[in-house]
Structure 1
Amino acid sequence: MTNNIQLGLKENWKQFSLLVIVNAFVGGMIGMERTIFPQFAELEFGVASKTAILSFITAFGITKAITNYYTGRLANQFGRRNLLLLGWLIAIPIPFLLIYAPGWNWVIFANILLGASQGLTWSSTVVMKIDLVGEKDRGFAMGLNEFSGYFAVGIIAFLTGYIANKYGITPYPFYIGIGISIVGFIFTALWIKDTRIFVHKESATDTTAHLENVFLETTFNNKTLSSVTQAGLINNLNDGMIWGLLPIVLVSLNYNNENTGIITAIYPTIWGIGQLFTGKMSDHFSKKAMLFWGMLLQGLAILLIPFSRDFYILASISAILGLGTALVYPTFLSTIAQATSPKQRAESIGTFRLWRDLGYAFGAIISGITADIFGVKYAIFLIGGLTIISSLIIKFRMPEQIKITNG
């Protein structure tokens, strides 16, 4: 059955391209909330506490993290495509819940569904692309995947800010989500094929050593995998803070929805576009160096935010933050894929993505509480400092040689 199967980007470009399009729809669902949500919370529901506002990110992060883990564990059993379809089914009610929510708890429930949907859809597309391409183009494949997702986050974040500025914070921005979720489901059902057979093909010739306990090795024991995992957690911890607090900072500086939308959109847009290049770079350059410099750049950019008021300076900081994140994001996934055997890869990626997306919850909780007690500025300093510490863990703990083989 596997004799006719060929691994590689060129050999599977049609199915790969369809998965890139699917992941753009997946990213668009996140972009719907990216610019307008803190104002949506305050204007529609009277939620003013930073901790309470960021509770939607906490709910999203915890649910997405847990779903990531089980998507990784169940991918071989139930098939990647089936989990992807389930993720889209869960996405369809989300914009309707946000439009018609009678109270804040309904918004939290919508974000629990969003987390489950994102865990299923994004994890499935990541694993499916890795299945298709084989080892040679893995970084480039992850760059294309994350580009499509985060470029869509940026575009939709800008669009929702523009629409909110013109027509109000609700319901019109959420209409975008209705279209994205329905089209994403139909597109997947009609054109996406499962990729488990590619795993059997690669496993036949792979010599990568098997992990004794995938969860423990990825989280704590394996120096490569655990270094990447802590950096992933801190990356999304700072992203959770930026998602929740940057719009609040910009509103406090009297920026309108449109300008807030531009500044908040630059970061994921650069993050998205940058990965077209950084993904390919991770196939040829030191993954350790890219992870170190990427995390360090993020930390330094975050520390500059409280000192900045000018539109162009804040836009530049947003761009630097996007560049730093672009350096690490596809490199995380290609490093995990290189360090694990094909049959354990989905579970290891699922474990990494469990911890990485718990970073959203930790970031929202830590920055929300710190902002309420000490002020937004100190919350930003704390998260920036943690990001720099993470870069140093990469530098001093992670080995240069990634792959350990049998024999």
Structure 2
Amino acid sequence: MKEEGMVHLLALTVFIAMVGVGIIAPIIPIYAEKLGATGLWIGFIYAGFAISRAIFMPLIGELSDRRGRKFFITIGLLLYSIISLGYVYSTTVVELASVRFISGLGSAMVTPVAFAYAAEIAPLRGEGRVLGEVGMALSVGIGIGVFLGGVLSDRFGIAVPFYTMGTLSCLTLILVIWSFPSEENPAFRSHVGGGRVNLGHILGYDLVKGVSAFRFVNSFSIGAIMSFLPIFATRLDITPTGIGILLSVNIMLAGILQPYFGRFADRINRVWLIFSGSILTTIALLLIPYTGSFRGLLLLNLLMGAGGAIAVPASLAMMADVGRDDGMGALMGIYNAAMSMGMATGPIISGIIMDIMGIQEVFTLAGMISLIGSLYFLRRVG
């Protein structure tokens, strides 16, 4: 298969898998509250998924540099397919948090490995375009999933999105088994390194520190939005369908615009793309507590989506530059681990803030952390 065709296949795989992941996002906080979860427990439930990803992604990324990509993507999708039933049969907050943790392991085997594969087959100075396409598939998939999750929950009940997640994961698994080159195929092996990488050495680079810091604070903000914007919105009498729209437009706009800003990242200064996109996200977060309507929240979510579209492809391209010499799977594992650490700490800290200070302060805190991280990134890399 030609490399361009492989990029499209990777994008399709990521898209279908992420629709399945996104479809449960708008209902998890509501489902958790029905099981008796406090704000802190809602944070832990969201964080369990991200903590699992943060633990396993660097290791899986490094192993995929030596073992091959298809193996890990296949196992991860199989795990997704099975664990979807765990959500349906969870009867306590602890069970729900445990299911989320196991789901994170499945995700750790799919997303960073797919991005590593895409980065390896990208041409030099074409990383932004290729990773932007796969990033678009990820974001649009999650965005469509989030919207469908709200609609399906409204129309057919809260269990239907979980069954849909399992079905979509099975379909993606079949696609990977039948369409991806095998581990022994030279077309696959030509892109997979065979040596051992030094994670400690890689983590010492200022560029890796700076980009990882950006991804951490960016994901901290996403974690706060995904886990607590539904609670904030329900207090404004916004329906689950409306919540699904709010979350999906943020993610989908970021995804749709990523290929375009990915091309910019191949031609202009990547540092300033990342910084400017991060500042847009910061502004939107700080304005949420002062917004009391669906339209206002919609506008701010669009602003956050634009910020992500500007910054994320450039950050991926910068990491891919290092990954060509030091192991693409390892670099994408570090990048995605930073994302997962943000997604883990964001909900937990936000849950504590909600319980102590109120829901509005969740978004103020996220905005301040986003600002600090943006300035740290500029100091390290700029």
TM over 0.5: yes
CA distance in 2, matches of 1:175, 1:353: 27
What are the equivalent positions in structure 2 for 1:43-54 lying under 5 Å apart? 43=34, 45-47=35-37, 49-54=38-43
2:200 to 189, 212, 215: 215
CA distance in 2, matches of 1:119, 1:34: 17
Give the equivalent residue in structure 1 for 2:10: 19
**Alignment check: 8 A CA contact 2:46 2:227 kept:** yes
Note the alpha carbon deviations across 1:219-256, whole angstroms, 9 max, x for none.
Answer: xx322111101111111111110111100000011111
CA distance in 2, matches of 1:330, 1:72: 19
Offset at residue 38 of structure 1 (A): 1.0
CA distance in 1, matches of 2:26, 2:323: 37
Which SS does the other structure have where 1:35 is aligned? coil
Give the equivalent residue in structure 2 for 1:62: 51
CA distance in 2, matches of 1:216, 1:393: 21
What are the equivalent positions in structure 2 for 1:252-291 lying under 5 Å apart? 252-291=235-274
Note the alpha carbon deviations across 1:116-165, whole angstroms, 9 max, x for none.
Answer: 11111011110111111232311111111110011011111101101111
Offset at residue 366 of structure 1 (A): 1.0
CA distance in 2, matches of 1:173, 1:199: 36
Uncovered stretches (5+) of structure 1, i.e. residues with no partner: 6-10, 204-209, 400-407
- Mean CA deviation greater in 260-269 or 349-358: 349-358
CA distance in 1, matches of 2:322, 2:65: 19
Alpha carbons of 1:132 and 1:340: their partners in 2 closer, same or farther (altered >3 Å)? closer
Alpha carbons of 1:19 and 1:340: their partners in 2 closer, same or farther (altered >3 Å)? closer
Uncovered stretches (5+) of structure 2, i.e. residues with no partner: none
Determine whether 1:198 maps to 2:191. Answer: yes
CA distance in 1, matches of 2:173, 2:136: 20
Percent of paired sites with the same residue = 23
Determine whether 1:313 maps to 2:296. Answer: yes
Offset at residue 343 of structure 1 (A): 4.6
**Alignment check: 8 A CA contact 1:87 1:119 kept:** yes
Which SS does the other structure have where 2:121 is aligned? helix
Note the alpha carbon deviations across 1:172-209, whole angstroms, 9 max, x for none.
Answer: 122211211110111111001253312569x9xxxxxx
- Paired residues in the alignment total 377
Alpha carbons of 1:302 and 1:216: their partners in 2 closer, same or farther (altered >3 Å)? farther
Give the equivalent residue in structure 2 for 1:41: 32
**Alignment check: 8 A CA contact 1:126 1:145 kept:** yes
Give the equivalent residue in structure 1 for 2:337: 354
Give the equivalent residue in structure 2 for 1:206: none
1:383 to 363, 366, 378: 366
Residue type at the aligned position of 2:36: G
Residue type at the aligned position of 1:314: L
Give the equivalent residue in structure 2 for 1:105: 94
Note the alpha carbon deviations across 1:93-137, whole angstroms, 9 max, x for none.
Answer: 122111122322221122112111111101111011111123231
**Alignment check: 8 A CA contact 1:232 1:352 kept:** yes
Determine whether 1:81 maps to 2:70. Answer: yes
CA distance in 1, matches of 2:90, 2:372: 40
CA distance in 1, matches of 2:8, 2:288: 37
**Alignment check: 8 A CA contact 1:26 1:122 kept:** no
**Alignment check: 8 A CA contact 2:65 2:192 kept:** no
Give the equivalent residue in structure 1 for 2:282: 299
Determine whether 1:30 maps to 2:13. Answer: no
CA distance in 1, matches of 2:172, 2:277: 31
Q: Where do 4+ consecutive residues of structure 1 move more than 4 Å?
A: none
TM-score by length of 2: 0.94
Residue type at the aligned position of 1:287: R
Offset at residue 171 of structure 1 (A): 1.4
What are the equivalent positions in structure 2 for 1:136-285 lying under 5 Å apart? 136-168=125-157, 170-193=158-181, 194=183, 195-199=188-192, 213-218=198-203, 221-285=204-268
How large is the RMSD of aligned CA atoms in angstroms? 1.9
In terms of Rg, which structure is larger? 1
Which SS does the other structure have where 1:54 is aligned? helix
CA distance in 1, matches of 2:189, 2:319: 18
Give the equivalent residue in structure 2 for 1:404: none
Which SS does the other structure have where 1:284 is aligned? coil
Which SS does the other structure have where 2:125 is aligned? coil
Alpha carbons of 1:258 and 1:15: their partners in 2 closer, same or farther (altered >3 Å)? same
CA distance in 2, matches of 1:260, 1:13: 36
